[in-house]
């Protein structure tokens, strides 16, 4: 009797443990950042996926400080099967050996090439699946422009002129001198100043880093274009005085709130503040447009999020299946429609017209920038973060200099710093 | 061996009482410190890799931001300890007197201590808003003083960051001093009064010597806590502008979690630990003398 009981117990244990393994094998754990509203959107995507593939379940877990969490999880071998994070981090994951290769040909050919480029590493392989893209464009106060009978600027000269008018001609017609033309990012924290410099540098025809014929990289600040961009930005602050005080410490929060609270007439970033701006300022009073063109054109910085697969995950195929599902037309549309926390800013697919999906004309210029190749992504070096910080520090130093900065000296100093960083990463061209 | 066994059996009960605390302390204090040192001498990527010796400590010597952060943190510590102690003591002296509303004032001064640090940092950041409409700048405008870029001006930022730290610690220090002041011998004070001693003489010759242990404790705690300052510094400035408000703790965080150099971050943390340890030893030695 006792023997039989033992046998039954063992059998139950085997079945229980076995079923546990099966369950674990079919549940994909995927981490993302944002807030609870984003998490709800992801949960909905997970449920739709499980409806289509009943044998697979997805557990989307929210971590507001996802990068920090991934680093510590990586060190303690507790990374999830996949995670969704900024596409600028690709090089970092690849160099640390955190992520698996991806076969691009398995995915829809409707995914934009520019989006795939953010998943491309120096070895020519792809290490992520593009999930969402975003490019910067300009938000502006339509009512202020109308009050001053101004057209939205198309060039740098016109931008300067418009910013002056918005600063000095009382665009809000309250009889007070309490407005500014444009808000700029200047803090070096998390590289905010880089947002300003990178956009204007590309528009001036320059870049922070350039790839050489050897496949390696060199700092590229020592050009006339850099000087032109820095001078233009410094003039906006100190000569024209069209930027609100405190620019050297301005992070995104300060910049967004300055537009939302009616302090400035123009601000640039990706299309994630539509509903906040429309709610605060009124639908009729907010406009958006592609960035005014500098000497080289109207370029802006591209960002976005990719799906990265843990190199140690045993559920690679299941994650690929999920990624294919997430990049399908239906889910990309769904991801854009949830407001205000839409996990897909702009679809990575070229066959989706965002304005037809979101029914918001403010989105149009953001997509137009992508479709007209106005959006650029930084060079795919292993770790872009230090370069971003160096660029932000350069921008901040320029913004801190009340008198005319010694541009040559500054450029030379920061060019050297970028080269040192490239050398540290083992990719400096001789 | 027999002797050890006997000693153990003799002290079995007290040993069993302290054992949980020893285990807890070893697991959560000693082990992380040792692990930190272990990390600092190894390459850390996804796994703990090759032994790199004291490479990170040599790197630290040439790291200009580290030295700047050490200088900034020391300035913050000096200012917070000095003003926090003086204002805390003054507040305690005033609020041990009996008057209407005494309890309300005590609560008002103590509120910052129980308020979340990050909230305090966000509120002060808003008060420092650099436009003319900023709260402090509006106040300056009332006195015809031009608006200041509190957290953006490299000459001002560190001091602007220190003010909320001082403001917060005053309430904490005040409570310790109030408890100490209650223990001052009233007979002694009355005798001094009869002898014609004024308020200042009573303070210098009776009250301060009677509360010196509380003063010592406040000084040690303030130094220990302030050297590790992170949240207000990270929320308000994150080291900006140009690392002028970088503290050792923010630099450790950036190296570990932004630059992903966990090994170097660990080396910086070991140095911070050593600084605090040496300071505490010196302080205790100095005070016992």
What SS3 class is residue A154?
A: coil
- Any idea where the domains of chain A sit in the sequence? 27-135+306-373, 138-299+380-424
Q: Do A97 and B45 touch (CB under 8 A)?
A: yes
Question: What are the helix and strand counts (H, E) for chain B?
Answer: 16, 2
Decide if B238 touches A, using CB distance below 8 A: yes
Residues of A in contact with B235 (CB under 8 A): none
Instruction: For chain B, give every residue range classified as CATH 1.10.3720.10.
Output: 57-288
Same CATH fold, A138-299+380-424 and A27-135+306-373? yes
Q: Which of 3.40.50.1970, 3.20.20.80, 3.90.79.10, 3.40.190.10 is the CATH number of A27-135+306-373?
A: 3.40.190.10
Q: Do A246 and B130 touch (CB under 8 A)?
A: yes
For B219-264, how does the pLDDT look when each residue is reduced to its tens digit (9 = 90+)? 988 998 899 999 999 999 999 899 999 999 999 999 998 888 889 9
Phi first, then psi, for residue A127 (nearest 5°) are -125, 15
Of B129, B131, B241, the CB nearest to A396: B241
Q: Do A248 and B259 touch (CB under 8 A)?
A: no
Q: From the CA of B17, how many Å to the nearest CA of chain A? A: 33
Placement of tokens 């009050």 in the chain: A147
Mutate to test the interface with A, among B124, B132, B240, B258 (most CBs of A within 10 A): B240
> Residue A204: pLDDT above 60?
yes
The pLDDT, as a whole number, for residue B139 is 92
The pLDDT, as a whole number, for residue A20 is 47
Closest residue in B to A310 (Cα–Cα) = B46
The pLDDT, as a whole number, for residue A21 is 47
Q: What is the mean pLDDT of residues B19-24?
A: 92
For A263-316, how does the pLDDT look when each residue is reduced to its tens digit (9 = 90+)? 999 999 998 888 889 999 999 999 999 999 999 999 999 999 999 999 999 999
Helix axes A274-281, A252-260, angle to 10 degrees: 40
Closest residue in B to A386 (Cα–Cα) = B259
Of B157, B241, B257, the CB nearest to A71: B257
The pLDDT, as a whole number, for residue A198 is 97
Around B268, how many Cα atoms within 13 Å sit in the side-chain half-sphere? 27
pLDDT band at A10 (very low <50, low <70, confident <90, very high): low
As to burial, measured by CB atoms within 10 angstroms (0-12 exposed, 13-18 middle, 19+ buried), residue B18 is exposed
**How many residues does this entry show for chain B?**
289
Q: Does domain B57-288 have CATH number 3.30.1700.10?
A: no
Looking at the DSSP assignment, which residues form a beta bridge with residue A293?
A: A155
Residues of A in contact with B256 (CB under 8 A): 71
Q: What's the CA gap between A64 and A41, in Å, rounded? A: 15
Which of A3-7, A10-14, A382-386, A393-397 is predicted least confidently? Answer: A10-14
For B111-129, how does the pLDDT look when each residue is reduced to its tens digit (9 = 90+)? 999 999 999 999 999 999 8
Residues of A in contact with B149 (CB under 8 A): 245-246, 248-249
Q: From the CA of A91, how many Å to the nearest CA of chain B? A: 12
Q: Do A396 and B240 touch (CB under 8 A)?
A: yes
> Residue A392: pLDDT above 90?
yes
Q: Is A339 or B178 the better-scoring residue by pLDDT?
A: B178
Of B44, B133, B154, the CB nearest to A400: B154
Q: From the CA of B248, how many Å to the nearest CA of chain A? A: 16
> Residue A123: pLDDT above 60?
yes
Q: Do A246 and B149 touch (CB under 8 A)?
A: yes
Angle (CA) A290-A131-A29 rounded to 5° is 150
> Residue A22: pLDDT above 50?
no
Of A71, A187, A247, the CB nearest to B260: A71
Of chain A, the percentage scoring pLDDT greater than 70 comes to: 94
SS3 breakdown of chain B: % helix, strand, coil, rounded to 5? 75, 0, 25
For B161-200, how does the pLDDT look when each residue is reduced to its tens digit (9 = 90+)? 999 999 999 999 999 999 999 988 889 989 998 988 898 9
Q: Please list the alpha-helical segments (H only) found in A191-291.
A: 192-204, 224-234, 252-260, 274-281
Closest residue in A to B257 (Cα–Cα) = A68
Residues of B in contact with A259 (CB under 8 A): none
Closest residue in B to A254 (Cα–Cα) = B129
Q: Which helix (H) or strand (E) holds B24?
A: helix B12-25
Q: What ipTM was predicted for this assembly?
A: 0.81
Decide if A74 touches B, using CB distance below 8 A: yes
> Residue A365: pLDDT above 60?
yes
Q: What integer best gives the mean pLDDT of chain A?
A: 90
Closest residue in B to A78 (Cα–Cα) = B46
Q: What is the mean pLDDT of residues A206-226?
A: 95
CA distances from B96 to B1, B89, B101, B103, B181 (A): 58, 11, 12, 10, 8
Q: From the CA of B92, how many Å to the nearest CA of chain A? A: 37
Q: What's the CA gap between B96 and B189, in Å, rounded? A: 14
* Fold of the domain built from segment(s) A138-299+380-424: D-Maltodextrin-Binding Protein; domain 2 (3.40.190)
Q: What is the mean pLDDT of residues B53-81?
A: 94
pTM of model > 0.90: no
Q: What tokens were used for A52?
A: 């289509």
Phi first, then psi, for residue A130 (nearest 5°) are -65, 135
For A303-333, how does the pLDDT look when each residue is reduced to its tens digit (9 = 90+)? 999 999 999 999 999 999 999 999 999 999 9
Q: What is the mean pLDDT of residues B75-93?
A: 95
> Residue B131: pLDDT above 70?
yes
For A68-81, how does the pLDDT look when each residue is reduced to its tens digit (9 = 90+)? 899 888 877 889 99
Q: Do A245 and B147 touch (CB under 8 A)?
A: yes
The pLDDT, as a whole number, for residue B273 is 92
Residues of B in contact with A93 (CB under 8 A): none
Q: Do B242 and A190 touch (CB under 8 A)?
A: no
What SS3 class is residue B43?
A: strand
């Amino acid at each position: 009797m006792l023997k039989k009981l033992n046998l039954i117990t063992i059998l139950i244990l085997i079945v229980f443990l076995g079923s546990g393994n099966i369950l674990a094998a079919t549940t994909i754990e995927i981490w993302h950042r944002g807030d609870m509203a984003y998490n709800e959107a992801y949960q909905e995507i997970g449920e739709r996926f499980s409806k289509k593939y009943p044998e697979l379940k997805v557990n989307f877990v929210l971590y507001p400080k996802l990068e920090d969490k991934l680093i510590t999880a990586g060190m303690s071998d507790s990374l999830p099967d996949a995670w969704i994070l900024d596409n600028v981090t690709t090089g970092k994951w690849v160099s640390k050996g955190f992520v698996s290769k991806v076969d691009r040909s398995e995915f829809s050919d409707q995914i934009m090439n520019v989006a795939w480029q953010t998943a491309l590493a120096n070895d020519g392989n792809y290490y992520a699946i593009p999930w969402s893209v975003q490019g910067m464009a300009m938000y502006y106060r339509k009512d202020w422009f109308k009050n001053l009978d101004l057209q939205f600027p198309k060039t740098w000269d016109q931008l300067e002129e418009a910013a002056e008018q918005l600063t000095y001609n009382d665009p809000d017609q309250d009889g007070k001198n309490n407005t500014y033309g444009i808000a700029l990012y200047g803090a070096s924290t998390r590289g905010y100043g880089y947002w300003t410099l990178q956009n204007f540098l590309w528009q001036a025809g320059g870049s922070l880093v350039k790839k050489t014929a050897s496949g390696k990289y060199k700092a590229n600040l020592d050009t006339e274009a850099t000087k032109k961009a820095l001078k233009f930005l410094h003039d906006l602050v100190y000569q024209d005085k069209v930027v609100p005080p405190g620019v050297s410490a301005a992070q995104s929060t300060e910049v967004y709130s300055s537009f939302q609270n009616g302090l400035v007439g123009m601000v640039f970033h990706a299309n994630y503040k539509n509903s906040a701006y429309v709610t605060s300022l009124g639908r009729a009073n907010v406009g958006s447009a592609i960035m005014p063109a500098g000497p080289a054109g109207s370029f802006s910085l591209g960002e976005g999020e990719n799906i990265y697969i843990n190199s140690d995950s045993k559920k690679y195929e299941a994650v690929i299946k999920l990624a294919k599902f997430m990049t399908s037309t239906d889910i990309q549309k769904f991801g854009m429609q949830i407001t205000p926390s839409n996990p897909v800013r702009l679809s990575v697919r070229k066959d989706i017209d965002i304005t037809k999906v979101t029914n918001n004309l403010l989105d149009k210029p953001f997509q137009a920038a992508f479709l007209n190749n106005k959006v650029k992504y930084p060079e795919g070096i292993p770790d872009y973060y230090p370069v971003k910080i160096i660029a932000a520090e350069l921008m901040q130093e320029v913004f801190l200099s009340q008198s005319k900065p010694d541009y040559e000296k500054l450029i030379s100093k920061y060019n050297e710093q970028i080269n040192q960083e490239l050398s540290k990463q083992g990719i400096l061209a001789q | 061996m027999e002797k050890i066994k006997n000693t153990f059996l003799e002290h079995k009960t007290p040993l069993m009482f302290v054992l949980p605390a020893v285990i807890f302390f070893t697991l959560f204090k000693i082990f992380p410190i040792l692990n930190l040192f272990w990390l600092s001498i190894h390459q850390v990527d996804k796994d703990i890799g090759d032994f790199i010796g004291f490479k990170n400590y040599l790197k630290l010597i040439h790291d200009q931001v580290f030295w700047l952060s050490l200088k900034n943190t020391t300035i913050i510590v000096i200012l917070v300890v000095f003003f926090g102690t003086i204002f805390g003591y003054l507040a305690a002296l005033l609020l041990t007197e009996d008057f209407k509303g005494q309890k309300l004032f005590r609560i008002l001064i103590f509120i910052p201590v129980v308020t979340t640090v990050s909230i305090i940092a966000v509120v002060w950041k808003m008060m420092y808003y650099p436009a003319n409409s900023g709260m402090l700048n509006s106040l300056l405008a009332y006195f015809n003083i031009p608006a200041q870029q509190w957290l953006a001006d490299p000459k001002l930022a560190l001091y602007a960051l220190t003010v909320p730290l001082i403001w917060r610690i005053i309430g904490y220090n005040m409570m310790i001093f109030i408890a100490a002041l209650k223990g001052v011998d009233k007979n002694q004070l009355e005798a001094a009064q009869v002898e014609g001693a004024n308020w200042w003489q009573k303070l210098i010759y009776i009250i301060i010597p009677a509360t010196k242990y509380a003063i010592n404790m406040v000084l040690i705690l303030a130094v220990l806590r302030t050297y590790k300052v992170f949240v207000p510094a990270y929320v308000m400035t994150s080291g900006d502008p140009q690392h002028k408000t970088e503290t050792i703790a923010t630099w450790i965080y950036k190296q570990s979690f932004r630059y992903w150099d966990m090994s170097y971050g660990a080396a910086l943390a070991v140095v911070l630990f050593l600084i605090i340890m040496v300071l505490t030893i010196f302080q205790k030695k100095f005070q016992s003398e």
